[in-house]
Amino acid sequence: MITDDELARVAALRKQGVSQRDIAAHLGESKSWVQRRWEKVTELGLHLSSGARAAMQNAGLNGNEAKGGWIHNYELGEDGKRYKVGTTRWNTPNELLTDDALARVRSAFEGMTPSQRIKPPTSFEAETLNVIPLYDVHWGMAAWSAETGGQDYDFNLARDDVMAGLEAVLARAPRAQSGTLLLGGDLLHADDNKAQTPGHHHPLDVAGRIQQATDTLIDILKYAITRSLEHHSQLTIRVLRGNHDENSHRPVAYALREWLREQPNAHIDMDHRDLYQQQWGRTAIFGNHGDKQAPKEFTLKLADVCRFWSDCRHRYAYTGHRHTMEAQRIGGLNWERLEPFCPPDAYGSNFTNRRGIKIDSYDKRKGRVNTALDPLDRDE
């Protein structure tokens, strides 16, 4: 039975911004004990200020239904009448943006069985960095060739494409001192089970629920990372945000970090910015999804924020998003928008149906010296 005293203690700590995990540690209770009382606190609105809670009760709402509103403020005049002196806008705390939400994501993967030690190659090119820019995978997308004019796409076909495409380009790329697996956004097709883009709410063709998509995606990424580790002495993995997976890319990164925690030659870059930056001798590598800035604006930003810009002679930037290949030299930067990994869905078939996967090899002094490309054609 949940008592009023228990609710008051949980509500007081919650108002201070304490996470569920830390409340459990502070009170000496289990996480499930705290979660049940957290949910009851939310329902009763005990986490809100007294004014917001009164407004919620006046409207006949509970804390799960009340997301915000207007409170009208009155003062009593000398004539004994109440006069309106203003209004105040109130909103419930946005749980999606708090550290507690991130803590719940991290804790979900605690205890994951780490990967077994993967042996790096015994011989490799010491001055070479291989970059695998895997952009616009749209895992969980459904595509029907009769409708799109392109290839079919679902979980199983996407898995086979990753395995076949990666093997094809690894076979043509040198074994290298360092490798970077750059997951450049829109790794997942949908951000949740609404099957809409987060920003503009465009309907999406999906092959399954977000839980199934995330679970199967992590499995195939384990395969891709294992094969990449066998090809490189050191491997860096970065998961960038896309406009389709603005939030769902984070659990993927946390899961991979937990899985790789005992892998000494693998590093997952957990930088929360939308920008990837890497220096390789006199070569600079950048990555961004490409949905926020035009190429010239992006170049100006890089020149301003990159601490090693002037130390490098050769500079390369990868973007995606538009699902069409384009490249140009902008000042001292070689900018490239990649072809997507996925085939077109019904909406995308109006624009393009080309796709691909590649590995670019970079020398510390000379910049890009090799490209291994596979167009992901199937034997059909």
Can you spell out the DSSP letters for 207-268? SS-HHHHHHHHHHHHHHHHHHHHTTEEEEEEEE---SS-TTTHHHHHHHHHHHTTT-TTEEE
The residues of the chain scoring below 70 in pLDDT are 64-65, 67, 69-70, 85-86, 88-111, 380
369 near 281, Cβ under 8 Å? no
Q: What does the domain layout of the chain look like in residue ranges?
A: 4-97, 126-374
Query: What does the pLDDT read at residue 96?
Result: 43
C-alpha–C-alpha distance, residues 234 and 178, integer Å: 5
Query: What does the pLDDT read at residue 141?
Result: 97
End-to-end CA distance of the chain: 62
- The CATH code for residues 126-374 is 3.60.21.10
59 near 72, Cβ under 8 Å? no
C-alpha–C-alpha distance, residues 194 and 327, integer Å: 34
C-alpha–C-alpha distance, residues 252 and 105, integer Å: 10
256 is written with which tokens? 């991979």
Query: What does the pLDDT read at residue 292?
Result: 94
pLDDT digits (tens, 9 = 90+) for 262-279: 999 999 999 989 999 999
C-alpha–C-alpha distance, residues 231 and 22, integer Å: 41
Mean pLDDT of the chain: 89
Placement of tokens 């100006």 in the chain: 300
Query: What does the pLDDT read at residue 85?
Result: 65
The CA dihedral of 226, 230, 233, 234, to the nearest 10 degrees, is -10
